[in-house]
Structure 1
Amino acid sequence: MRRLTATQTRQARAAAQGLAGRATTVAGAVRKVVALQAQDVRANRLAVRVRTTGLTAADVDAACRHREVVRTWAMRGTLHMLAADDFGWVTGLLGPYFAARGAPRRRQLGLDEATLERATTALDTIATTPLTRAGIVERLAGHGTVLDPRSQAPAHLLAYAALTGQLCRGPDTAKDEPTYVLVREWLGAQRALAEDEALARLAERYLAGHGPATAADLAAWSGLPVGRAKRGLAAIHTEPVEAAGEAAVVLAGHAGDPPAPSRLLGHFDAYLLGYRGRALAVPQAHAHVIQAGGGFVMPAVLVAGQVVGTWRLRSTMDPMRVELEPFGESRIPDTRNEMADLGRFLRRQVVAGKPMG
């Protein structure tokens, strides 16, 4: 059995995640890791930056408008960006599971089965073009479903409609406000795969973009039960390895990916959300800094797959300033190339600022 040290495991995972930045399209960057977290639009753009070369934030928005990628509820029942051609099988596999798990909370919010049926029937009529959440709530009221816009009911209704394959996110407004639209109108007819085929595809794609990893990692990332993760991995060709002292697998015959340079990862980056824990990537003494509470994952300075500090972008007037904060005695390498690339991506002047304090 091939044995990888902790350092080698981190480096292999960072490379598998596409953090060498070789992708030339937004869809290619997303497809590399199956999906990118997308509840924060600005962070979602930055996750594309570190996985691509030559693209800008405007290119990410254009890819959404041109339907090359689409944001919807997927892994763990949360918002993710998918390549459009992955939408059908991913949501077909994950959507029913998370829609069922969300039923108790929906009932607490007054979204019983009768209300859901009435609302989703109305959505088939009113969401033929992209609408904001407020626009949907207003039009639903005219069809007999009144939702308190200040409550969580509208968000849970939209998530349910997305998880059941009815809605997806459309293009954001100029102020980054999300819109929602019928899948059939935005992406066309979608075809789900049989569960076993979809599980195998998910496992294969996950390992290609995250390996070496375990069934527990796949389960934590996807949100599916570990039994289903094991079924998916058992259906594909894998090679056992020992990764940082733990039994794991990689794709059999996978040639590996180019090594990743030092990167400035944004909030909620897939590298820090792709496994059952972050102990390998984040020193335990500083885990509370990266996981700031409430599921909030901070921007991280990554060196050879190891998080060595955090960073913050002061986005006031030009020049924008990047403030770095190393962990303890950790040394943050020269980040001028990353700052220059960040400025190019955002089309702003970016310079080094004083350390965070």
Structure 2
Amino acid sequence: MTLSDNDIRAVRAHAQLLGAPAADVVSVAESVAAIQAQSSPAARLAIRARSRGLTAPDVDASRAVARTWLMRKTLHLVPSADLQWLNRLFGPRNVQAGQGRRRQLDLTDELCERALLLLQDLLPGKALTRQWIVDGLAAGGIVLDAKSQAPAHLLAYAANRGLICRGQDDGTEPTYVLLDEWTTEDSAPDEPLMELAHRYLTAYGIATTEDFSAWSGLPLGLCREAFGALDLVPAGRGFALPETELSAPPCPPRLLGAFDTFLLGYRDRDLLLDPAEAKRVNSGGGMIAPTVLIDGKIAGTWHTKRTAKQTKVVIEPFATLSRSAISGLESEVDDYGRFLGEAAVVVI
């Protein structure tokens, strides 16, 4: 089937719920496969853009989703029911990939194993911040420099070993809980890699094996194997599942948060982001700025300026915006303010 670039953008945006928002937190997480969540505010905004009626506290309070280190060794938010099988798929790889850095931080295998035993005693029935965990480990004879990267890497190791995951934030501080206390569900598929590939294509509409590899961090050979096991149809710049609707209405204007999965889901982002503007979105160091989406394409960036009375959402478009786009963004800013419980106004 021949698809125009606009068709592909519309299909991808629709698959990401950016044109047909969901009603609850877990529906968003299920639909987009995984939400990058090393920044809690950014993860909340990813859900806001794909839902209607939710608030930031609704996202924070949901135990139907959970955060742990998965794709690309990065924190992701996923349905709690999928946490255990996804951890079994990515955990051993992440443990192996992090071994060199742990050695640099003097986190020996022996120390890490002792720490796991201590964490099993520290965490039952509790959600502890990193500092509380560092203090508890010190009381048990494992002293870590709280200002170094050692605590973060040790906690990631414990998560990838299947012991812990992130709990609810304590104010601005993340907490950590026992994985088995956060969820006892385990909807393990018979073929985890094939299931992940299916969920990826459901979430990203039209994509290549290279896109899947870039999103997941898995070797390209494995990604080709997974795509090869699925019944796929060629669709423009990649492949789609047979059930994918290869037509969709244009996506309304959306404000996407930092690290939004809509961009991170593809290796080749040229269809969504003009290469000439790429450095305005990704200036280096792995940072992906909050972006403005118009008709399924990145049309600018945005940031906020807060005062005691209101929040200004400052939009920096790449080109002059149409009246309809501005009207749509005004509605988005209103919803952004409602979501956060702030008075918000748009500045272009």
Question: TM-score scaled by structure 1?
Answer: 0.92
| 2:194 aligned to which of 200, 203, 215 | 200
Q: CA deviation at 1:255?
A: 3.2
The one-letter amino acid of 1:279's match is D
How many angstroms apart in 2 are the aligned matches of 1:3 and 1:107? 52
Contact 1:281 1:305 in 2 (8 A): yes
How many angstroms apart in 2 are the aligned matches of 1:82 and 1:189? 13
2:260 is matched with 269
Q: Which moved more, 1:52-61 or 1:339-348?
A: 339-348
1:130 is matched with 127
How many angstroms apart in 1 are the aligned matches of 2:11 and 2:244? 12
Q: Which moved more, 1:230-239 or 1:75-84?
A: 230-239
Contact 1:93 1:192 in 2 (8 A): no
| 1:234 aligned to which of 216, 225, 228 | 228
1:216 is matched with 210
Aligned-residue CA RMSD in angstroms? Answer: 1.6
Residues 221, 114 of structure 1: alpha-carbon distance in 2 compared, 3 angstrom cutoff: same
1:254 is matched with 244
Contact 1:111 1:157 in 2 (8 A): yes
Q: CA deviation at 1:329?
A: 4.8
Contact 2:82 2:186 in 1 (8 A): no
How many angstroms apart in 2 are the aligned matches of 1:209 and 1:94? 19
Contact 1:290 1:310 in 2 (8 A): yes
2:105 is matched with 109
**Number of equivalent positions:** 343
Q: CA deviation at 1:234?
A: 1.6
Contact 1:35 1:82 in 2 (8 A): yes
1:44 aligns with 2:38: no
3-state SS of 1:275 partner: coil
1:171 aligns with 2:171: no
Q: CA deviation at 1:303?
A: 0.8
Deviations 1:172-226 (A, max 9, x none): 11x22100011112213647556xx001110100000102001110010011001
| 1:313-332 superposed matches below 5 A | 313-329=304-320, 331=322
Contact 2:231 2:241 in 1 (8 A): yes
| 1:286 aligned to which of 269, 277, 283 | 277
The one-letter amino acid of 1:304's match is D
Deviations 1:106-155 (A, max 9, x none): 11111111111111111111122111001111111122211111110100
Contact 2:87 2:162 in 1 (8 A): yes
Deviations 1:17-67 (A, max 9, x none): 11124211101011111111111111111100011111111110111xxx2
Q: Which moved more, 1:340-349 or 1:250-259?
A: 250-259
Deviations 1:57-84 (A, max 9, x none): 1110111xxx211111111110111111
Residues 188, 113 of structure 1: alpha-carbon distance in 2 compared, 3 angstrom cutoff: same
Deviations 1:269-328 (A, max 9, x none): 110111113222111111000002211101111011111111112233232111111114
Residues 121, 258 of structure 1: alpha-carbon distance in 2 compared, 3 angstrom cutoff: farther
| 1:18-33 superposed matches below 5 A | 18-33=17-32
3-state SS of 1:323 partner: strand
Deviations 1:254-273 (A, max 9, x none): 23666521101111111011
| 1:61-100 superposed matches below 5 A | 61-63=60-62, 67-100=63-96
Contact 1:21 1:50 in 2 (8 A): no
**Runs of at least 5 residues in structure 1 that lack an aligned partner in the other structure:** none
| 1:119 aligned to which of 115, 124, 128 | 115
Contact 1:263 1:303 in 2 (8 A): yes
Q: Which moved more, 1:52-61 or 1:212-221?
A: 52-61
**Runs of at least 5 residues in structure 2 that lack an aligned partner in the other structure:** none
2:331 is matched with 337
Contact 1:199 1:231 in 2 (8 A): no
Residues 189, 143 of structure 1: alpha-carbon distance in 2 compared, 3 angstrom cutoff: farther
1:346 is matched with 340
Residues 258, 318 of structure 1: alpha-carbon distance in 2 compared, 3 angstrom cutoff: farther
1:141 aligns with 2:131: no
How many angstroms apart in 2 are the aligned matches of 1:92 and 1:163? 8
Residues 230, 190 of structure 1: alpha-carbon distance in 2 compared, 3 angstrom cutoff: same
Residues 191, 158 of structure 1: alpha-carbon distance in 2 compared, 3 angstrom cutoff: farther
2:179 is matched with 183
